[in-house]
Amino acid sequence: MEITVGLKGTVKETVNENNTAEKVGSGSLPVFATPMMVALMEKAACKALENSLDEGSTTVGTKVDVEHVAATPVGMEVTVTATVTAVDGRKISFSVEAFDEAGLIGKGAHDRFVVNAEKFTAKTYAKKQ
């Protein structure tokens, strides 16, 4: 596993009727939903790590601390970048920023932990038994 400070991942998504606050239930307005921004931040963090994890490993999100500072209307593109800021054993910390075509819409921090995918899934599903 070779995860270093400075690794970046970027993802883009166009705001549409399916990712608005009104549609996902996080508000009543037809604007980009905060939960969808957070999901893009996690996706960008995963993208930053996609070529750096050992086979059989993945990461799981454990903490998100973000501000949604500006609304984005349907039809605009949102770009999110996650940058590794620290690596402490299996814990990886990121700074995250989201922009639409007019400027900054969100920023904050996100933590993920490296896990063995098979063991993690088995342990999780054992809760049902």
Read off the CATH number of the domain in which 24 is found.
3.10.129.10
Nearest to 84, CA basis, from 4, 30, 1? 4
Cα–Cα distance, 53 to 33 (Å, whole number): 30
Please state the pTM of the whole predicted model. 0.95
Give domain status of residue 63, yes or no.
yes
pLDDT digits (tens, 9 = 90+) for 106-129: 999 999 999 999 999 999 999 998
Give domain status of residue 113, yes or no.
yes
Cβ contact 104:97 at 8 Å: yes
Cα–Cα distance, 96 to 98 (Å, whole number): 7
How many domains, in total, are found in the chain? 1
Residue 36 structure tokens: 């969808």
Cα–Cα distance, 21 to 70 (Å, whole number): 13
Cβ contact 1:52 at 8 Å: yes
Per the DSSP assignment, residues forming a β-bridge with 111 are 63, 93
Sequence-distant (6+) residues with CB within 8 A of 39 are none
What is the set of active-site residues? Answer: 34, 42, 68
Give domain status of residue 2, yes or no.
no
Q: What is the domain extent for residue 122?
A: 8-126
Residues 14-20 have a mean pLDDT of: 98
Give domain status of residue 75, yes or no.
yes
pLDDT band at 1 (very low <50, low <70, confident <90, very high): low
Give domain status of residue 76, yes or no.
yes
Give domain status of residue 3, yes or no.
no
What pLDDT score does 129 carry?
Answer: 86
